């Protein structure tokens, strides 16, 4: 289902956008993202589209030893890089799997963090239905990008690659997608350099 994108992202695992260390400005965005979680210590997080695990590492540190982070990536090379980065963090693991069909996941996550991956889901309704199945009642989804929606879509449109049709829907379409999957969007902020959406599960999948 993701063959072309797997090849594309495998070839990107060493690219600066995927692997470079976060700068000071990005650290502030990470702080904003973490503030959207209901709390930090002890949370059980799922992070589809973890890439090389830069955010995964931060999430694992944030939830502490009583919490866990399960990170997924369709690209085996990205997942390997993430697992290497997580080697000193026993509460986090990275699997080369896609969110939609990964069979080893057990329901019971407190939150799903979709960082810079939502536009890449081939069928966002299906991806959201899977998130609803995997979350605890009242669980939370966060969608984040460290650039605004307009720029995300522009970058993909101009890429001329397997991701050129991967668009982040506008606010009404996002609200509708989440509503259909049983979520209520409680925050949607689309700034030129930051996109944040938080939604809570209001009914069982
Ligand atoms: C733009 S990259 C972002 C990576 C990382 N979150 C970051 O910000 O550096 C998107 C990642 O999502 C992965 N991906 C795309 N669709 C996925 C899916 N359905 N399940 C899991 N991973 C997926 C891709 O392989 C890619 O590594």
Confidence of residue 160 (pLDDT cuts 50, 70, 90): confident
pLDDT digits (tens, 9 = 90+) for 82-103: 999 999 999 999 999 999 999 9
User: Does position 205 have pLDDT exceeding 60, yes or no?
Assistant: no
pLDDT digits (tens, 9 = 90+) for 98-123: 999 999 999 999 999 999 999 999 99
Q: Closest Cα to residue 143, out of 172, 183, 115?
A: 115
pLDDT digits (tens, 9 = 90+) for 163-177: 999 999 999 999 999
Quote the ligand 1 centre to 75 CA distance (angstroms): 8
- Take residue 36 and report the two structure tokens written for it: 């959207």
Ligand 1 atom with the smallest distance to the CA of 6 is: 25
Q: Whose CA is nearest to atom 20 of ligand 1?
A: 98
Confidence of residue 6 (pLDDT cuts 50, 70, 90): very high
Q: Are strands 44-48 and 109-115 parallel, antiparallel or unpaired?
A: parallel
**pTM for this entry:** 0.97
Quote the ligand 1 centre to 47 CA distance (angstroms): 9
CATH 3.20.10.10 given to domain 3-12+26-33+40-201: no
pLDDT digits (tens, 9 = 90+) for 38-83: 999 999 999 999 999 999 999 999 999 999 999 999 999 999 999 9
pLDDT value, residue 97: 98
CA 183 from centre of chain: 16
Q: Which residues line ligand 1 (CB under 6 A)?
A: 5, 9, 18, 48-51, 54-55, 72-75, 78, 98-100, 115-117, 120-121
Ligand 1 atom with the smallest distance to the CA of 146 is: 8
Ligand 1 atom with the smallest distance to the CA of 73 is: 22
For residue 63, count other CB atoms closer than 10 A to its CB.
24
pLDDT value, residue 204: 61
Quote the ligand 1 centre to 179 CA distance (angstroms): 23
């Amino acid at each position: 289902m993701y063959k072309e994108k797997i090849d594309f992202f495998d070839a990107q695992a060493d690219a600066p956008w995927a692997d470079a260390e976060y700068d000071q400005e990005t650290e502030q965005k990470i702080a904003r993202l973490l503030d959207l979680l209901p709390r930090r210590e002890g949370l059980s997080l799922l992070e589809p589209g973890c890439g090389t695990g830069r955010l995964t590492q931060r999430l694992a540190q944030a939830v502490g030893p009583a919490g866990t982070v399960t990170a997924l990536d369709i690209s085996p090379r990205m997942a390997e890089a993430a697992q290497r980065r997580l080697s000193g963090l026993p509460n986090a693991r990275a699997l080369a799997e896609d969110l939609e069909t990964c069979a080893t996941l057990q329901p019971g996550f407190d939150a799903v963090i979709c960082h810079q991956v939502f536009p890449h889901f081939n069928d966002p309704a299906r991806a959201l239905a899977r998130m609803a199945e995997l979350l605890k009642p009242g669980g939370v989804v966060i969608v984040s990008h460290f650039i605004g929606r307009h720029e995300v879509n522009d970058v993909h449109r101009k890429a001329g690659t397997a991701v050129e049709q991967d668009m982040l829907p506008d606010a009404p379409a996002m609200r509708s997608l989440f509503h259909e999957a049983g979520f209520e969007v409680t925050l949607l902020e689309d700034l030129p350099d930051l996109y944040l959406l938080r939604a809570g599960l209001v009914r069982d999948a």
